[in-house]
Chain A
Amino acid sequence: MLNLTRMEFRRLFRDKSVYITLAAFLGFILIALITMKLMTDPGLLAFATENGFELTAEDQADAASFLRITIADFVSNLLFSGGLMVCFSAIFCALSTCDDFSSGFGKNIFSYYPNRGYYIISKIVIHCAINAMFILVLAAASILLFKICGFSNHLGDPLKMALMLLTGWVALIPLAAQNMLFCMLIRNAAVASILSIFCGLGTVAGTIEVVTGLFGIHIVQFFPPYLVMMAASISGSSASNNFISLALGQNVLPDELLLSVFASLLWTLFYIWLSQKVLCKKDIC
């Protein structure tokens, strides 16, 4: 399995599309910060207004609140509350996995390794690695770009930020396993991506919570998307968080966090087991 994982790493990190996607995300952050700079710097704003730039009251309120948030909040909103990492992980997983079946490269793997579970696990390891890379690079780039753009926003509590990034990364593990299950079931990148995003953003978990909530039962914290939102709330952005407010309406407690991490671990194991079952049921084309 080590060789398989090593091969997947080589495949991944020698793939241009990974770096193109990362560059696009960085460009997106840069554009967002430049726009904010334009709206918050009086000199630049005057220049922009002279050149036809129109600023509404709502924009002004956004700009003012932007100056008050910490960089940690910005990162958590960007990566987790906004669903960027969930969507990225879902699309990336679907593309890289379904391609093994459509290109036929999977035949090389499955004719060599009798244990198909190795494939599932190595893929999840790879997705965790790519998620970690994106989280770290985007967080570091955000800090750097804030400084470069001359914003004086506080970083926030570095420990909380580190915990937020770690929790967010852990939260993406069961989602990666879930994405694998969809890929094994469907083997179509587009459909698997849509399903993964749909479930990853918590639509299913939220619906279940609404139904069970009618009977006074709250189980949303046992679903992986909740942990993503919990990650976002660690740095203090729970106000924009649907799940937290839906389930508890309060800040995250350590034991809750641990419980949610434990539930995520169980989901991961369940999805791996199920993915392997599905993979073993189907022929490799």
Chain B
Amino acid sequence: MKNIIVTQNLTKMYGDKAAVSSMDMHVKQGDIYGFIGRNGSGKSTTLKMLCGLAFPTQGNIRVFGQSLSQESVRKRIGVLIESPGLEGGRSAYENMYLKASLMGIVDPDKEIRELLTLTGLNPDNKKLVKRYSMGMKQRLGIAMALLGGPDLLILDEPINGLDPEGMSQLRSLLADLNQKKGVTILISSHILGELSKMATRYGIIKDGCLVKEISKEELSAECKDYLYLKTSDSKMAAVLLEEKLGIQNYEVRPEGEIRIYQKADPGQITAEMTSAGIPVYAIYGHQQDLEGYFLDLMGKESKTGSSKKGGRRHA
């Protein structure tokens, strides 16, 4: 699959502070690219640069193999960045009509009605947008991003404010667009559980740097199931695991926590620990999800970036 978005050394400075630093991002055609990071990590700034709302201080962006300054490129991108850009004193239909006329869509009535219905809004509703709930505004923002049938959708926190039904609808809609129409989607969200249900590839950003790009398959491989063990003395427990039980693939974490990544019998471990006088506070099987992986990665990065203390990992 060819790359739809490629950034090289993308950097955005605000004064002395780098909001985005030397980012090399690759979004492939047909991806649903989940862009994740903490608050203030530079997600929105990156997305703004990718849709031309902010200019990079350094580096370059290629979208569809062309520079973002080409009007032909912009026409193929649907955008929802942060809050939807809406005129509060107009109806949803009128907002859509304005965007359609901005894009030069001739006779957009049919498309507007379809998109509003698709996103769960009533095209005939005359209610002013300023009286809409946050979720309804978000739905309208998504409908506006879909106007003109874009080949690439850039959505910044589109799930914010949506009710569970709305989230599910959006997920189906994006999956449909991706699978049936081949739309590439770059989406950022804090709701990692929801994102993991649709993303096919992830980019993880921390402090303005793209820490990792990983496919769903690679993530599944990395998100191993593990046995969680909490004891009063993790050092002693680790020695016991290696010497008595022959367990090599484990990770010692702070606060007496150990993660065992190979097959092991919890009953046997508990028995050995108890007989060695090491109290076991908890032991259970755990399946790591995107959230866990993300938190782990963020934790590791923090440690790498700071004192490097903490658990060791045997592979």
A residues near B, CB below 8 A? 2-4, 6-7, 10-11, 14-15, 103-115, 280, 283-284
Known: A4-B102, A111-B77. 4 other contacts (CB 8 A): A103-B86, A108-B102, A111-B74, A284-B54
Chain A residues whose C-beta falls within 8 Å of the C-beta of B88 in the assembled complex: 103
Q: Is the CB of A10 within 8 A of B98?
A: yes
Beta-carbon contact of A103 and B85 below 8 Å: yes
11 contacting pairs across A/B (C-beta < 8 A): A3-B102, A11-B87, A104-B84, A105-B86, A107-B85, A108-B85, A111-B53, A112-B75, A114-B68, A114-B69, A280-B55
Q: Is the CB of A3 within 8 A of B104?
A: yes
Cβ 8 A contact of A3, one of B52, B82, B101: B101
Q: Contact between B103 and A3 (Cβ–Cβ < 8 Å)?
A: yes
Closest to B45 in A: A283
Q: Judge whether B101 and A6 touch: CB under 8 Å.
A: yes
Distance, CA A49 to CA B86, complexed state (A): 55
Task: Quote the shortest CB–CB distance from B24 to chain A (angstroms).
Answer: 22
- Tell me the bound Cα distance from A111 to B53 in angstroms: 6
Number of cross-chain contacts by CB at 8 Å: 73
CB neighbours of A280 from chain B (8 A):
55
Asked if B194 lies at the interface with its beta carbon under 8 angstroms from chain A, I say no
Shortest distance from the beta carbon of A68 to any chain B beta carbon, whole Å: 45
Q: Which residues of B contact A2 (CB under 8 A)?
A: 104
Query: Pick the contact of B103 from A15, A110, A112 — CB < 8 Å?
Result: A112
* Given A114-B70, A283-B48, A284-B54, A104 contacting B85 (CB threshold 8 A): yes
What separation, in Å, do the CA atoms of A284 and B84 have in the docked complex?
13
Q: In the complex, are the beta carbons of B54 and A112 less than 8 A apart?
A: no
**Mask: chain B, 45-89; 1 = CB below 8 Å from A; 0 = not:** 000100111110000000000001111001101010111111111
Cβ of A102 to closest chain B Cβ, rounded Å? 10
Residue among B71, B81, B98 making CB contact with A11, cutoff 8 Å = B98
Chain B residues, CB < 8 A from A10: 97-98, 101
Secondary structure of the B side of the interface? loop
Closest residue of chain A to B95 (Cβ to Cβ) is A105
A283–B68 alpha-carbon span in the complex (Å): 15
Q: Which of A4, A105, A114 contacts B85 (CB 8 A)?
A: A105
Residues of A within 8 A of B85 (CB): 103-108
Report B56 CB to chain A, min CB distance, Å: 11
Q: Which of A4, A109, A111 has the most CB of B within 10 A?
A: A111
- Asked if B32 is at the interface (CB within 8 A of a chain A CB), the reply is no
Q: Give Cα distance in the complex from A112 to B52, angstroms.
A: 8
Name the residue on B nearest A280 (C-beta).
B55
Q: Output the nearest chain A residue to B78 by Cβ-Cβ distance.
A: A111
| A-chain residues with CB within 8 Å of residue B69 when the two chains form the complex | 114
- Using a Cβ–Cβ cut-off of 8 Å, how many residues does chain B contribute to the interface with A? 33
Choose from A4, A104, A109, A115 the contact partner of B86 (Cβ within 8 Å).
A104
| Complex CA distance for A201 and B88, rounded to whole angstroms | 32
Central interface residue in B75, B98, B144, by most chain A CB within 10 Å: B98
Query: Which residues of chain A are within 8 angstroms of B103 by Cβ–Cβ distance?
Result: 3, 112
Residue B111 is within 8 A (CB to CB) of chain A in the complex: no
**B216 smallest CB distance to A (angstroms):** 28
* Top 3 A-B residue pairs of the complex, sorted by shortest distance between their CB atoms: A104-B85, A3-B104, A107-B85
The reply on B190 being an interface residue by CB < 8 A is no
Partner of A108, one of B75, B83, B89, B144: B144
- Quick check: is B99 within 8 A (CB to CB) of the other chain? yes
Which residue from chain A places its CB closest to the CB of B54 in the assembled complex? A283
| Chain B residues with CB under 8 A of A108 | 79, 85, 98-99, 102, 144
- Report which of B52, B82, B101 forms a contact with A110, defined as CB distance below 8 A: B52
Q: Please name all residues of chain B whose beta carbon is closer than 8 Å to the beta carbon of A110 when the two chains form the complex.
A: 52-53
Q: Which residues of B contact A3 (CB under 8 A)?
A: 101-104
Contact present for B102 and A112 (CB under 8 Å): yes
Say whether B272 faces chain A, with CB atoms less than 8 Å apart.
Answer: no
Query: For the complex, what is the distance from the CA of A112 to the CA of B145, rounded to whole Å?
Result: 11
Q: How far is the CA of A103 from the CA of B95 in the complex (A)?
A: 12
User: Which B residues are in CB contact (< 8 Å) with A284?
Assistant: 48, 53-54
- Do A111 and B98 touch across chains, with their CB atoms under 8 A apart? no
Give CA–CA (A211, B254) in the complex, Å.
74
Which of B75, B79, B90, B94 is A107 in contact with, Cβ under 8 Å? B79
User: Chain B residues with Cβ under 8 A from A283's Cβ?
Assistant: 48, 53-55
Interfacial chain A residues near B144, Cβ < 8 Å: 108
* Residues 101-147 of B at the A interface (beta carbon under 8 Å): 101-104, 144
Bound complex: CA of A110 vs CA of B68, how far in Å? 12
Give complex CA distance A124, B121 in Å.
35
Residues on the A chain within 8 Å of B101, using CB: 3, 6-7, 10
How long is the Cα–Cα vector from A15 to B89 in the complex, in angstroms? 9
Bound CA–CA A11/B87 (angstroms): 10
Docked complex Cα distance between A111 and B85 (Å): 11
Chain A residues within an 8 Å CB radius of B74:
111-114
Give the docked Cα–Cα distance between A107 and B69 (Å): 15
Question: Which residues of chain A come closer than 8 Å to B94, judged between CB atoms?
Answer: 14
CB distance from B19 to the nearest CB of A (A): 10
Contact yes or no, A105 B87, CB < 8 A: yes
| Residue from A11, A108, A109 whose CB has the most chain B CB atoms within 10 Å | A108
Give the complex CA separation of A106 and B55 in angstroms.
Answer: 15
Distance to closest chain B CB from A14 (angstroms): 7
Query: What residues of chain B lie closer than 8 Å to A112, measured between beta carbons?
Result: 74-75, 102-103
> Within 8 Å CB of A7, what residues of B?
98, 101-102
> What is the CB-to-nearest-CB distance from A99 to chain B, in angstroms, rounded to a whole number?
8
